[in-house]
Amino acid sequence: MEAAAASFAAVAGVQLFLTARGFYVTDTYVPDIVKAYDNVDYLSDSVSIGRTRPIGWLEHSIVFLILCALYYSIRYLLWRAGRKR
């Protein structure tokens, strides 16, 4: 249970960091109006700002399982090192 809670906290922390970073980048972005007219193509045709698709459950599940495996590996190595003493 402890490992699941730690893994969930790690995934939630990453999501919170990415959300805060997105808010910051959006808030501080100032487009250069002069350079916008140098090119006749629209930005939406050549550049995607932000996510191109939402992150699905599969990606979240994979990250969660990787973090669980990492946590259990670290716990096992620490337990094994403590047992040798």
Whether this model's pTM surpasses 0.75: no
pLDDT at position 37, please?
A: 73
Residue 26 dihedral angles phi and psi, to the nearest 5°: -65, -40
Sites in the chain below the pLDDT cut of 50: none
- SS3 (DSSP) at 75: helix
**CA-based torsion, 56, 59, 65, 68: positive or negative:** negative
How does 1-22 read in b/e, with b if 16+ C-beta sit within 10 Å? eeeeebbeebbeeeeeeeeeee
